[in-house]
Amino acid sequence: MSYTKFNELLTDNKIAKVKISDSSLVGELKESVNLGPEGSQRPYKNIKVNIGSYDQTFINEMLDKDIEVNFETEKTWVNMLISTLPWIFFIGKENRCMKQLFGDTS
């Protein structure tokens, strides 16, 4: 869905709740809305839109309309790898220091 259409639904107060994850937003509408190209519209109850970066004003606008807002951080293998790299580095450095301190017995 386009951001323009999402903003129109937001202005018309047709959104019940949203879940924001990184730069995307998944929302549940209060009632089904016909969306799509002219002549082939279908009813939708859920929406997904790429919102890019957002600020507190964007969140406040939804909260002012009594929209339930939830945040979810994406857990990808890249995020998990990045979070473990400092530990891997620390353990490797500690191991090297111990070998230098006590001598390499292997």
Q: Whole-structure pTM over 0.85, yes or no? A: no
Domain ranges of the chain: 3-74, 75-106
Radius of gyration of the chain (CA): 24
Per-residue pLDDT, 36? 85
Task: Examine the pLDDT at 105 and tell me if it is beyond 70.
Answer: no
pLDDT band for position 99 (50/70/90)? confident
pLDDT (tens digit, 9 = 90+) per residue, 28-77? 999 999 988 888 889 999 999 998 888 899 999 999 999 999 998 766 77
Element (H, E) at 48: strand 42-50
Using CA atoms, how far apart are residues 8 and 31, in angstroms rounded to an integer?
15
The domain made up of 3-74 has a fold known as 3.30.720
Distance CA 46, CA 53 (A): 21
Residue 84: what pLDDT?
Answer: 87
Max distance between CA atoms of the chain, in angstroms, equals 78
